[in-house]
């Protein structure tokens, strides 16, 4: 307190903060990037370990013998699917009943807000079929789920066959302490969303579905199976769920432990683990694997049917079979034994998985980065915003310079009016509300007046509103209050910087990857923008660091990480597809990325755009 109350010391502190603010901010930004890039270096990561005692050992004997029979069932399923042109409901019901399950069906329908051109659907109607194996040695208060989506064409037929084979084998075992639900869902995520909403008596998306006639206990864990080949070279585990949620790390550890025991090649993000971590290529491989997880998590979309379970606090993952050009081959019997082992360990759980991490990044299946390791990278970026806010506050409360005649600068002393700060805030957020509402509301009008489809109308309307926002908030502080003051833009920037700090902090706590990517681009904007910098160059930099261009760069960067680079034209079409899919994900499943960008991030960026053109 003495430092702040002593005028001489206070002036020295103000001088120090003003003089070194820019170098400290630059150092923090550089340190944040270096810290994040260092997370993939193996000595800086933690080795995975099983935290749940009930799953601490893989000493169970897997005996599933019916791989060939499962493949035959899958071929039969494919034939009936082709015959009826969709989900063979009657055949599935008879087959599950023949295996001793309690079988039920659920019908559902959903009209999309606009057509999904990627999957060529608008009005979706389907039926889910599920069978319940009741626990013979417990009061049936808990359940596990094994699901396989009924995909179009020849996709995932082997997964359904293996699911039915496991149902037949599990029925002959007597040690199950939990109900096991075998679910075949139609229309992938939409069918899974309908089933989960009905199972938990909720309706958050406005979907029409029939009530479930049969239920198991409280679902403790779930696995979704994707298998489209008779033989596979590796098994990939998919963890990223809705809004960046991740399952408990013990579920991934369990998968890795059984892969190691049975001798199956396992991957994450489709990449095998490398042992040469001390080489440049090994470190680059780990960085790319971690960055793929960051990009997928930041998208906020569920990357498998498991992603919707996480909303209901059900630990879930998708196991995907990959058939590549590797010489190592694994048959369906081995995959069945791996799933049997995982379900037997999950069957031993006395409570929900909770002892391991829920917030983590994985550069490989054997190592992970916990929240305590990656949060300092974001914290260093947040420090920049706090330092800039402190610098602005010091400038606002500092006494004005005294002229030679002893008269202070009157313009500097005049306080900014409330409207000069409130007007840009209101108009920027109204622009964000228009970006959120208008694309889906005006699609019919756009289709009537322009030669575009409904999906193109939605995307182009979103781009038009976004672009119009660049012109709309110009000098909005002068709309009602006349000329702006030098103090006015500082007050507005102080509000914008603090707003951005709170916004990014809350986002990073929920979805670190999204918060960190936004911070990388928005923090430099908040740090350097003033009305006194060169307008043209600064405007170009602001546009490049805007949310829309961040998404565009992310599309190309993700394709590079996937080792599938695209041309600019193909990348642009993919960019438009990502926008439409993001809007659809919000209306269909409740993804929060689109409303977050439209209602908060974009208006906040517009405030800095307004500061640049302050007069």
pLDDT tens digit sequence for 346-356: 998 888 888 88
pLDDT in tens, 89-146: 999 999 999 999 999 999 999 988 888 877 777 888 999 999 999 988 777 789 999 9
- pLDDT for the residue 1: 47
Give me the mean pLDDT over the 197-207 stretch: 89
Instruction: Give phi and psi for 425, each to the nearest 5.
Output: -60, -45
pTM reported for the whole predicted model: 0.91
113: tokens are 């807000």
pLDDT tens by residue, 273-312: 888 877 888 899 999 999 999 999 999 999 999 999 999 9
Integer Cα distance of 550 and 568 in angstroms:
15
Contact 377, 387 (CB under 8 A): no
- Return mean pLDDT, the chain: 87
Q: Which helix (H) or strand (E) holds 102?
A: strand 102-116
How many H helices and E strands in the chain?
Answer: 22, 14
What mean pLDDT is predicted for residues 582-599?
A: 93
Do 337 and 65 contact (CB within 8 A), yes or no?
no
Please state, in angstroms and rounded to a whole number, the distance separating the CA atoms of residues 330 and 391: 62
Rounded Cα gap, residues 239 and 222, in angstroms: 12
SS3 per-residue string spanning 187-232: CHHHHHHHHHHHHCCCCCCCCEECCCCCCCCEEEEEEEEECCCCEE
Per-residue model confidence (pLDDT) at position 52: 81
Continuous segment of H or E residues that includes residue 329: none
Tell me the longest C-alpha to C-alpha distance in the chain. Answer: 100
Instruction: Give the single-character DSSP code of 408.
Output: B
Question: Quick one: which of 275, 270, 346, 286 has its CA closest to 314?
Answer: 346
Q: Which domains does the chain have, with CATH numbers?
A: 61-365 (3.40.630.10), 416-613 (no CATH)
Give the DSSP per-residue string, 137-187: TS-S-EEEEEEEEE-STTTTHHHHHHHHHHHHHHHT-----SEEEEEEEET
Which of 319, 303, 116, 335 has its CA nearest to residue 192?
Answer: 303
Tell me the three-class secondary structure of 56-85, residue by residue.
CCCCCCCCCCCHHHHHHHHHHHHHHHHHHC
> Quick one: what percent of the chain has pLDDT higher than 70?
92
What is the mean predicted confidence (pLDDT) over 221-236? 92
Instruction: Give 500-506 contacts, CB < 8 A, sequence gap 24+.
Output: 500/385, 500/526, 500/604, 501/382, 501/385, 501/386, 501/389, 503/600, 503/601, 503/604, 504/378, 504/381, 504/382, 504/385, 505/382
Residue labelled with tokens 């879930």? 316
Q: Buried b vs exposed e over 338-365: b needs ≥16 C-beta within 10 Å?
A: bbbbbbbbbbbbeebbeebbebbbbbbb
Q: What's the pLDDT score for residue 411?
A: 46
**How many residues would you count in the chain?**
615
Instruction: Work out the average pLDDT over 159-177.
Output: 92
107 is written with which tokens?
Answer: 């019908």
């Amino acid at each position: 307190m003495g430092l702040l109350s002593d005028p001489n010391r206070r002036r020295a502190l103000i001088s120090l903060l003003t003089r070194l603010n820019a170098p400290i901010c630059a150092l923090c930004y550089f340190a944040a990037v270096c810290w994040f890039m260092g997370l993939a270096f193996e000595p800086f990561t933690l080795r995975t370990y099983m935290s749940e005692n009930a799953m601490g050992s893989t000493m169970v004997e897997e005996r599933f013998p019916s791989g060939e029979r499962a493949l035959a069932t899958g071929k039969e399923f494919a034939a009936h699917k082709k015959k009826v042109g969709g989900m063979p409901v009657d055949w599935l019901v008879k087959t599950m009943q023949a295996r001793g399950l309690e079988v039920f069906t659920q019908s559902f329908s959903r009209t999309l807000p606009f057509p999904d051109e990627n999957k060529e659907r608008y009005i979706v109607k389907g039926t889910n079929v599920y069978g319940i194996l009741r626990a013979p040695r417990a009061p049936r208060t808990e359940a596990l789920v094994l699901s396989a989506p009924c995909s179009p064409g020849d996709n995932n037929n082997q997964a359904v066959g293996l699911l039915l084979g496991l149902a037949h084998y599990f029925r002959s075992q007597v040690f199950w302490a939990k109900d096991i639900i075998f679910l075949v869902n139609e229309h992938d995520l939409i069918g899974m969303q309908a089933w989960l909403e009905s199972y938990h008596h909720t309706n958050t998306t406005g979907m029409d579905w029939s009530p479930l006639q049969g239920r198991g206990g409280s679902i403790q864990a779930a696995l979704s199976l994707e298998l489209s080949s008779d033989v596979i070279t590796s098994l990939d585990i998919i963890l990223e769920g809705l809004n960046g949620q991740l399952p408990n790390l013990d579920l991934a550890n369990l998968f890795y432990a059984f892969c190691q025991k049975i001798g199956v090649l396992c991957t994450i993000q489709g990449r095998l683990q490398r042992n040469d971590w001390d080489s440049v290529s090994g470190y680059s491989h780990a960085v790319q694997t971690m960055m793929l997880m960051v990009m997928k998590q930041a998208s906020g979309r569920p990357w498998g049917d498991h992603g919707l379970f996480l909303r209901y606090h059900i630990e879930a993952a998708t196991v995907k079979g990959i058939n590549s050009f590797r010489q190592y081959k694994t048959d369906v019997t081995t995959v069945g034994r791996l799933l049997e082992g995982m379900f037997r360990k999950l069957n031993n759980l006395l409570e929900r998985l909770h002892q391991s991490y829920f917030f983590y990044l994985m550069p490989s299946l054997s190592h992970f980065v916990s929240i305590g390791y990656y949060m300092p990278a974001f914290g260093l970026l947040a420090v920049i915003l706090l330092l800039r806010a402190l610098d602005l506050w010091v400038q606002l409360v500092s006494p004005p310079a005294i002229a030679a005649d002893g008269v202070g600068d009157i313009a500097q002393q005049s306080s900014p009016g409330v409207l000069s700060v409130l007007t840009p805030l209101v108009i920027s957020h109204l622009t964000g509300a228009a970006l959120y509402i208008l694309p889906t509301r005006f699609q019919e009008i756009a289709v009537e007046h322009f030669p575009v489809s409904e999906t193109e109308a939605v995307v182009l309307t979103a781009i038009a509103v976004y672009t119009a926002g660049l012109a709309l908030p110009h000098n909005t502080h002068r709309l009602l209050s006349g000329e702006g003051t030098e103090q006015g833009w500082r007050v507005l920037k102080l509000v914008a910087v603090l707003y951005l700090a709170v916004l990014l902090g809350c986002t990073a706590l929920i979805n670190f990857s999204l918060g960190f990517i936004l911070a990388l681009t928005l923090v430099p904007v908040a740090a350097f923008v003033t009305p006194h910098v060169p307008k043209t160059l600064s405007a170009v930099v602001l546009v490049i660091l805007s949310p829309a261009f961040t998404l565009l760069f992310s599309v190309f960067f993700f394709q590079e990480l996937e080792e599938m680079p695209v041309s600019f034209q193909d990348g642009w079409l993919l960019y438009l597809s990502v926008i439409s899919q993001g809007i659809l994900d919000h209306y269909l499943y409740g993804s929060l990325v689109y409303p977050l960008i439209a209602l908060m991030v974009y208006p906040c960026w517009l405030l800095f755009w307004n500061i640049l053109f302050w007069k």
